[in-house]
Amino acid sequence: MNVDSVALGVFAGLFALVTVIGFAAVRWRRAESLAHLDEWGLGGRRFGGFVTWFLLGGDLYTAYTFVAVPALMYGVGATGFFAVPYTIIVYPLVFLFAPRLWSVAHRHGYVTPADFVRGRFGSPTLATAVAITGIVATMPYIALQLVGIEAVLQVMGVHGSGWAKDLPLIIAFAILAAYTYTSGLRAPALIAFVKDTLIYIVILVAVIYIPIRLGGYGHIFDVAGQKLAAKPKATGASLIPGPKGYDAYWTLALGSAMALFMYPHAITGVLATKDRNVIRRNAAALPAYSFLLGLIALLGLMALAAGVTAPKTGLGANLAVPMLFQQMFPSWFAGVAFAAVAIGALVPAAIMSIAAANLFTRNIWRPLFDRDATPAREAQVAKLVSLLVKVGALLIIIFLKVDYALNFQLIGGILILQTLPAIVFGLYTRWFHRWALLAGLIVGVVTGIWMAYVTPNALKTQMHFGSSVYHWTFFGWDFKAYAALIAFVLNVAVVVVGTLVLKSVRAPAGADATVADDYEAVAVPALDPAPVG
Partner 1 sequence: MSSFDPAAPVDPATHRATRPVRRWAYVLLLAPFIGTLWVSTYAKHSPTLFGFPFFYWYQFAWVIAGAGITTFVYLITTPRRRGGPPPDDGDATYPPGPYPGRSRQTAPGQAATERGQSR
Q: What is the footprint of partner 1 within residues 96-135 (CB under 8 A)?
A: 96, 103, 107-109, 118-119, 122, 124
Compute the least distance from the CB of residue 267 to partner 1, in Å: 18
Q: How far is the CB of 79 from partner 1 (least distance, A)?
A: 11
Shortest distance, CB of residue 251 to partner 1, whole angstroms? 9
Binding mask 315-344 for partner 1 (x = CB under 8 A): ------------------------------
Residue 208 CB, nearest approach to partner 1 (Å): 12
C-alpha Rg value of the chain to the nearest Å: 23
Choose one: 168-176, 289-297, 331-339, 488-496; the region binding partner 1 (CB under 8 A). 289-297
Contact with partner 1 (CB under 8 A): which of 291, 332, 431, 479? Answer: 291
Closest CA to 389 of 473, 490, 265, 483: 265
Q: Which one among 40, 53, 54, 81 touches partner 1, defined by CB under 8 A?
A: 81
φ, ψ at 437 (rounded to 5°) = -65, -40
Which are the contacts of 102, defined by CB distance < 8 A and separation ≥ 6?
270, 271, 273, 275, 276, 279
Query: What whole-number distance in Å separates Cα of residue 136 and Cα of residue 507?
Result: 30
Total of chain residues touching partner 1, rule CB under 8 A: 77
Which parts of 351-380 interact with partner 1 (CB under 8 A)? 371-372, 374-375
Q: Is 297 helix (H, G, I), strand (E, B) or coil?
A: helix
Which of 238, 462 has the CB closer to partner 1?
A: 238
Site for partner 1 in 20-39 (CB under 8 A): 38
* Single residue of 159, 281, 471, 503 touching partner 1 by CB under 8 A: 281
Helices 276-285 and 49-60 cross at an angle (nearest 10°) of 60
Under rule CB under 8 A, which residues in 482-511 are in contact with partner 1?
A: 511
Q: How far apart are CA 377 and CA 354, in angstroms?
A: 15
Distance CA(468)–CA(448), nearest Å, equals 9
Question: Would you give the binding string for partner 1 spanning residues 51-80, x where CB under 8 A is met?
Answer: ---------------------------x--
In the complex, what is the shortest distance from the CB of residue 149 to partner 1, in angstroms, rounded to a whole number?
A: 28
Is residue 290 part of the contact set for partner 1 (CB under 8 A)?
A: yes
Binding residue for partner 1, selected from 17, 88, 364, 496, defined by CB under 8 A: 88
- Backbone phi and psi for residue 478, each to the nearest 5 degrees, phi listed first: -100, 120
Q: Which of positions 509-528 make contact with partner 1 (CB under 8 A)?
A: 511, 513, 516-517, 520-528
In the complex, least distance from residue 349 CB atom to partner 1, rounded to whole angstroms = 26
**Comparison of 394 and 530: residue with beta carbon closer to partner 1:** 530
Q: Cα dihedral sign for 455, 318, 194, 201?
A: negative
| Closest separation in Å from C-beta 133 to partner 1 | 20
State the CB neighbour count (10 A cutoff) for residue 295. 16
Return the residues of window 190-249 that contact partner 1 according to CB under 8 A: 216-221, 239-243, 245-246, 249
Least CB distance to partner 1 at residue 215 (A): 10
Specify the residue, 332 or 431, whose C-beta has the smaller distance to partner 1.
431
Q: Enumerate the H helices of 63-185 as residue ranges.
A: 63-76, 83-108, 113-121, 124-155, 163-183
Angle between the 264-271 and 124-155 helix axes, to the nearest 10 degrees? Answer: 100
Cα 286 to chain centroid distance, Å, stands at: 15
- Pick 48 or 160: Cβ nearer partner 1: 48
- Give just the sign of the alpha carbon dihedral 509, 436, 93, 257: positive
CA-based nearest residue to 45, from 183, 185, 177: 185
Closest distance of CB 295 from partner 1, Å: 9
In the bound state with partner 1, the residue whose beta carbon lies nearer, of 505 and 528, is 528
- The Cα 167–Cα 365 span in angstroms is 32
Closer residue to partner 1 in complex, CB, 3/524: 524
Nearer to partner 1, 132 or 285 (CB): 285
Q: Of 11 and 97, which CB lies nearer to partner 1 in the complex structure?
A: 97
Exposed/middle/buried for 477, CB within 10 Å: 0-12, 13-18, 19+? exposed
Q: Is there a contact between 292 and 200 (Cβ–Cβ < 8 Å)?
A: yes
- Element at 391 (helix H, strand E): helix 375-399
Q: Are 52 and 280 in contact (CB under 8 A)?
A: no
Quote the least distance from Cβ 147 to partner 1, whole Å: 26
Binding residue (CB under 8 A) for partner 1 from 200, 207, 214, 287: 287
Q: Fill in the DSSP letter of residue 248.
A: H
Q: Smallest Cα–Cα separation from 419: which of 516, 498, 484?
A: 484
How far apart CA 206 and CA 98 sit, in angstroms, is 34
> Which listed residue (258, 396, 481, 530) binds partner 1 by CB under 8 A?
530
Shortest distance in whole angstroms from residue 523 CB to partner 1: 4
Instruction: Determine which residue in the list 14, 56, 98, 253 makes contact with partner 1, applying CB under 8 A.
Output: 253
- By CB under 8 A, what part of segment 415-474 binds partner 1? 428
Do 118 and 368 meet the contact criterion of CB atoms below 8 Å apart?
no
- For partner 1, the closer of residues 403 and 518 by Cβ is 518
